[in-house]
Amino acid sequence: MDIDYKKVAAVAAVAYIRPGMTVGFGAGSTMAHMINRLKEVPELVAEVVVVTSSYNTRQLLLEAGFRLQEPGMMAVLDFYFDGCDQFDVSLNALKSGGGIHTKEKLLAAMATRFVLVADGSKYVERLYTTFPVVIEVIPEAVTFVLRRIRELFREVNPQLRLSNRRDGAVMTDNGNMLIDIWFTQFPELAEINPLLKGIPGVLETSLFYRMAHEAVIAGRNGVEVIYK
């Protein structure tokens, strides 16, 4: 039987959580594994205050009986746990898929410890361009931002994210739009966020540059913790 390394990493990450803590969770299947494990410990369900960036995770936390706080009521978290699509040796992470990175980044920034939780396949020496950098953009700015990105970076392919289910653009929880920026080669990682966030109308990017404090990964060699 194949081992689910996301689950192994998630179970290891749960060991960080103690009664009385305030803990944030991101989105995805690894986070679902964490919550499934946590709900087996009644003391943690009763005595941990939780907050999340994700609608699905919110439902899982509520069903498990946790005390849920709204992100807007929080300024500091003991921990924020989240998965990612890929992260590098400096713990820079790409979190491109869900389109909820603005809220995810907010919770990550509130956290005393931001911990990435992943299976080992997501850990790479340098980030690859197999994932886009995603930006959340106010609707009025989309055409302008697309133009400005093409001017700023050579060989990029920015695309407004469209919905598969209906004939229109994807709208975020904040009422904004998403642009997927497909680089053929990343510029200096340190430059990406300042350049993109310097464009009027851009709210946030999905590149988590030097934000994570540590990563818990699991693979064939067991569980490993990587520190910044």
Residues found near ligand 5RP in the complex (CB under 6 A) = 6, 26-30, 82-85, 95, 97-98, 100-101
Tokens 């020496």 belong to 125
SS (H, E, C) 176-206: CEEEEEEECCCCCHHHHHHHHHCCCCEEEEC
Specify the residue, 26 or 201, whose C-beta has the smaller distance to ligand 5RP. 26
Instruction: With beta carbons less than 8 A apart as the criterion, state whether 206 and 95 touch.
Output: yes
Specify the residue, 148 or 181, whose C-beta has the smaller distance to ligand 5RP. 181
Instruction: With beta carbons less than 8 A apart as the criterion, state whether 178 and 160 touch.
Output: yes
CA dihedral 61, 62, 65, 68 (to 10 degrees): 80
- Smallest gap from Cβ 84 to ligand 5RP, in A, equals 5
By DSSP bridging, strand 202-205 and strand 133-137 are antiparallel
- Smallest gap from Cβ 144 to ligand 5RP, in A, equals 25
Specify the residue, 32 or 156, whose C-beta has the smaller distance to ligand 5RP. 32
- Smallest gap from Cβ 31 to ligand 5RP, in A, equals 6
- Smallest gap from Cβ 149 to ligand 5RP, in A, equals 21
Specify the residue, 144 or 186, whose C-beta has the smaller distance to ligand 5RP. 186
- Alpha-carbon distance of 61 to 202, in angstroms, equals 31
Give catalytic residues, as residue numbers.
104
